[in-house]
Amino acid sequence: MKIFLLIALISIERIATYSQDEIIFWNDKQPLKWEDFTGSLVETSGFYASTHSSIKYRYSYNTSGTIYNLRFDVSSYFIKGKSWTLKERQTPALLKHEQLHFDITELYARKLKEELEKQSYSNDFKDQVPQIFNAKKLELDSVQKRYDDETDHSMNKEKQKEWEVYINEELRKTRPTNIN
């Protein structure tokens, strides 16, 4: 039986370029603070803050003949230097809105792991795994956009509360997964 370890880091940026001081892995006991938003302000955005979070995964596998058994580790992370805020517009409500963006990323990291683990893999698993990731990433991007649209970027308090309840409920229903 052969054992291999492959690492796939998924994001526009490679996580390997960030130090532990520059990223925060999602942790329900470590909510974001305004001090975590160290990126340069994007004045032309029209927004008061921006959260840059993403998902990484790695997997190992062993083979027994034509059977491929894969084990996955999946994690979500926040990139401090890409996330920014307009200091004079910082409010607790806006920070909660930005935290929920990170929470949504964590939810989709968990959904990705569930999806990856339920699949059967053949010898083309190196193509299958990225396809599953890409499909889940499209879902994540769509949900992040819908969240901003429905909450009007945190201005619609009623919708903001609905989203908070929904995402927290979904997080409670899924199994935590961190690889830090």
Q: What is the pLDDT of residues 159-173, one digit of tens each?
A: 999 999 999 999 999
Q: The domain containing residue 23 runs over which residues? A: 3-173
Reported as a single tens digit per residue, the pLDDT across 93-136 is 999 999 999 999 999 999 999 999 998 887 889 999 999 999 99
179 in a structural domain: no
The per-residue pLDDT for 3 is: 33
* Residue 72 to residue 113: CA distance in whole angstroms: 7
Token pair 């792991």 is at which residue? 113
Do 1 and 65 form a contact (C-beta atoms < 8 A)?
Answer: no
Q: How confident is the model at residue 22 (pLDDT cuts 50, 70, 90)?
A: very high
Token pair 């370890």 is at which residue? 5
155 in a structural domain: yes
178 in a structural domain: no
The token duo for 163 is: 């989203």
- Checking if the pLDDT of 54 tops 50, the result is yes
Beta strands in 2-161 (DSSP E): 3-8, 23-25, 49-50, 53-64, 67-79, 84-85
The token duo for 79 is: 């990139």
The token duo for 26 is: 């999602």
Q: How confident is the model at residue 20 (pLDDT cuts 50, 70, 90)?
A: low
Domain count, the chain: 1
Q: What percent of the chain has pLDDT over 90?
A: 72
The token duo for 92 is: 């607790």
The whole model's pTM is what?
0.87
Average pLDDT, whole number, for the chain? 87
180 in a structural domain: no
Q: How confident is the model at residue 4 (pLDDT cuts 50, 70, 90)?
A: very low
For 37, which DSSP code? -
Phi and psi at 58, nearest 5°, equal -145, 155
CA 172 to chain centre: 16
